[in-house]
């Protein structure tokens, strides 16, 4: 049987994006040609605070923000953890997510993991989005409100 994650309703996605102010981006690098960089830049330009998370770039600035090695190194509250890592990494990221002050686990388009979903839900965490592009959902919200 093929696994397909059941995402929250469009109403809930809009609610998440409207309330969020801070987005930690796991897998963001300084490579401007990547989807992670382009999506993060657009979200930053839309007014969100971007927190880059990438051990290879830790201590460097990306999009004018200091890069952290892991979510555990981020000291402030995170509204959305936006993940740009392959699906096989999602369970480990879910475990780390549960150890930090974060609200929404968001795996980008093409990414989903039944194991990550189970880890999060068993810990009582229900604000999960998988296989959806944050930028696309933001643009849908923005086009509907104008």
Q: By mean pLDDT, which of 18-27, 29-38, 78-87, 137-146 is the weakest?
A: 137-146
pTM of the model: 0.95
What stretch of H or E contains 53?
strand 49-53
Q: Is residue 56 part of a domain?
A: yes
The pLDDT-based confidence of 144 (bands split at 50, 70, 90) is low
Number of separate domains in the chain: 1
For 104-141, write each residue's pLDDT tens digit.
999 999 999 999 999 999 999 999 999 999 999 999 98
In the predicted structure, residue 146 carries a pLDDT above the cut 70? no
Q: Which domain holds residue 48?
A: 10-145
Rg (CA), the chain: 14
DSSP 123-140: TT---EE-S--HHHHHHH
Closest residue by Cα to residue 49 from 76, 72, 30: 76
Is 108 a domain residue? Answer: yes
CATH of the domain at 27: 3.40.50.720
Determine the Cα–Cα distance for residues 1 and 136; give it in Å rounded to an integer: 28
Three-state DSSP string of 64-108: CEECECCHHHCCCCEEEEEECCCHHHHHHHHHHHCCCCEEEEEEC
CA dihedral defined by 139, 81, 94, 36, rounded to 10 degrees? 70
The verdict on residue 5 lying in a domain is no
């Amino acid at each position: 049987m093929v696994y397909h994650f059941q995402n929250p309703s469009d109403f809930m996605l809009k609610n998440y994006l409207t309330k969020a102010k801070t987005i930690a981006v796991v897998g963001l690098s300084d490579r401007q040609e990547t989807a992670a960089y382009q999506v993060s830049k657009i979200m930053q330009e839309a007014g969100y605070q971007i927190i880059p998370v990438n051990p290879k770039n830790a201590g460097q600035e990306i999009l004018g923000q200091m890069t952290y090695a892991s979510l555990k190194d981020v000291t402030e509250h995170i509204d959305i953890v936006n993940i740009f890592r392959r699906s096989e990494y999602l369970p480990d990221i879910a475990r780390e997510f549960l150890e930090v002050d974060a609200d929404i686990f968001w795996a980008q388009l093409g990414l989903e993991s039944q194991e990550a979903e189970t880890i999060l839900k068993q810990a009582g965490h229900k604000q999960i989005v998988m296989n959806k592009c944050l930028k696309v959902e933001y643009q849908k919200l923005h086009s509907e409100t104008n």
